[in-house]
Amino acid sequence: MKSHFQTIALIGKYKSQEIAEPLLKLADFLASMGLDVVVDPLTAEQLPVNPYALLSLAEMHGKVDLAIVLGGDGTLLNIARTLAPFDIPLVGVNQGRLGFLTDISIDTMQRTISGMLQGGYVTEKRMLLSATVDREGAQVFESLAFNDVVIHRGNSSSMLEFEVRIDGEYLYNQRADGLIVATPTGSTAYALSVGGPILHPGLDLIALVPVAPHTLSNRPIVLKSESVLEISMHRASEARARFDGNTYFDLHGQDKVTIRRYEGKVNLLHPVGHSYYHTLREKLLWNQTL
């Protein structure tokens, strides 16, 4: 069988022993097709035996044609942020219920991935956010986000106070529990739970969604992807900036968080017939009879 991809990286949910059996099963299947299989070292730690070459995520640039991620949406989010600068296509296999991003079942992964390797796939490009934190005129932190950048009050009971500017223009001063800056991918995550809009993942837009704002007239705003947001912290007791719910940075008063669209994109591959609207119906229970 001639594959569109020759060297394939397998990445499993970290610290999950349950992923070992299906990952090795998939690895053996791919190797039997004459493909080169590599495993990242953190995944290999969960395997009882690993006969495959090791390659860290940082070393995959230019050496891997495709990365298959076994786990859940959270695992794929983390891997996507890391591999986005390398433009490596990603396929998501879910070890539980199908997710928004990991849309292939472990039970059918061999048959589905076999078809995809022969060209039976559709490509979806999704945007990311790039964020920096400046303190006293110097940059002290930076990160990418695939879902969202969230400014929140941590363990403090006090509201945050911050100023928001878009492309240098003053928008508002806000007192709230937090602020979510979401991509279309992240619009169905935390942003949705606090009343934000659902954005189709094919769009290049940014959603600005307040969390429990003190002003009842405040509403979510959808911005063009070229917008540059500046969030200046005025009152930041125990405030944090969190990126995809994974990486975080503790904020101080007068810190400035700058968020813009990242120049690269995440390259997701889906089996032919994949439907975003079907996923919405399944995940949001729209298919239930009233």
β-bridge pairing 256-271 and 66-71: unpaired
Angle (deg, nearest 10), helices 109-117 and 20-32:
40
Rounded to whole angstroms, how far apart are CA atoms 71 and 22?
10
Determine whether 32 is exposed, middle or buried from the number of CB atoms within 10 Å of its CB (0-12, 13-18, 19+).
exposed
36-39 and 7-12 beta bridge pairing: parallel
Q: Is 73 noted as a catalytic residue in this protein? A: yes
Q: How far is 65 from 100, CA to CA, in rounded Å?
A: 23
Largest CA distance in the chain: 61
Say whether 149 sits in a helix, a strand or coil: strand
CA atoms within 13 A on the CB side of 100: 19
Catalytic annotation, pick one of 28, 40, 65, 73: 73
Are the C-beta atoms of 45 and 97 separated by less than 8 Å? no
Distance CA 255, CA 252 (A): 6
Question: Which residues are marked as active site?
Answer: 73
